[in-house]
Structure 1
């Protein structure tokens, strides 16, 4: 009985904390990723950005970061760049973006919501690398301006949900891949840690989310493309530590995505933590069902503390 009451108390405290966060913290400003022309961009006057109720975004042509600074009295120097999911066809910028940024703020973490270009041949010369270009640039930009935001340049993480988790794991395994001319942007694009929540990791047909694969690589990708963007196959000794969350009954993105990535990290002696819940399905953001998967953010906070990333 005490355990039940304690769990309910923790959930109540988290809800109160998030409500307070929503009032106390907020997006302070938005910054564009690219000073000049977006690399690989194709001008298309008919391609217009849409944003439904500030919760679902599509057709981004101007990639940018929404900045949520940590409150000064709580700031830990840690930063996280958030990649919302949406099958590479849209972005759930509400429950996988803004709400997550406010939760990170409550932990003393400065958060950035990445509004990245979604892969589309109508606006880019190579749609398979468009999101990665924006992700690498975002990490470099945050790291190069770390002092301005009171951030430790060695404590910059990447976070992704669903297809945003594929982008986050791509940035964790392809940070040395040159996808744009960074001659004037030599800052490291390697994240220091990753938080992967019900992520798409693989492009292999047997475990991928097929919609994400088709949107990123097309209907008939080559075997080389599939292997290159199956990030469980790209882990090496330089891949950053990771915290992963998945549910066994995820009917959209098979749990094997997280399992295979965690095993690859283990093989390369990279520390990681993998939480697998019996239920939860897919797309639950911070969790609100009251079931066990709703506690993943509490476990994540403990992991971040154990890593010395928050107080």
Structure 2
């Protein structure tokens, strides 16, 4: 295994987990037994929940993660678009404009934060696909795996 080619992928709420690792990897949450860095080299975020901001979050994800009475500080901490730095790993993002479960604004705000911090990022925003098109629905979104493979090759994560 090449330690410089380790990435994380997350779909929907799993995209929030993946983006949390990408933005919070330096936080000490348990007593470590080794010196291995938890920072992934890249993230693949597929129709991800990124933000806990009530205007764009998936409310079920916010409630499951933060509870019914989330504090402003918790919302800010887990709104991963607000946690991006120049050290955040590069990312490949995919979303559909017609996703009525998780707003595409989640991918857009994360992409914008990455660009603001000069982190390489690519966003594919398909016109159709809804939510959960990961297995290939009959829309242009079905090509996301090819787009992802091309990105991984271009960035030399795969041959």
Whether the TM-score (by the shorter chain) exceeds 0.5 is yes
1:106-255 to structure 2, matched below 5 A, reads 151-182=1-32, 184-255=33-104
| TM-score, L = length of structure 2 | 0.98
CA distance in 2, matches of 1:296, 1:286: 10
Q: Does 1:298 align with 2:151?
A: no
Relative contact order: is structure 1 or structure 2 higher (C-alpha 8 Å, sep ≥ 6)? Answer: 2
The answer (yes or no) to whether the contact 1:197–1:245 under 8 Å persists in 2 is: yes
Deviation at 1:283, TM superposition (A): 1.1
SS at match of 2:135: coil
Deviation at 1:285, TM superposition (A): 1.6
Deviation at 1:190, TM superposition (A): 0.1
- RMSD after superposition: 0.7
Larger Rg: 1
| TM-score, L = length of structure 1 | 0.51
Q: Which runs of 5+ in 2 are unaligned?
A: none
Q: Which runs of 5+ in 1 are unaligned?
A: 1-150
Q: Does 1:282 align with 2:131?
A: yes
SS at match of 1:158: strand
CA distance in 2, matches of 1:256, 1:290: 23
Question: Which residue number in structure 2 is paired with residue 92 of structure 1?
Answer: none
Q: Which runs of 4+ in 1 moved over 3 A?
A: none
Deviation at 1:260, TM superposition (A): 0.1
Instruction: Count residues with an aligned counterpart.
Output: 159
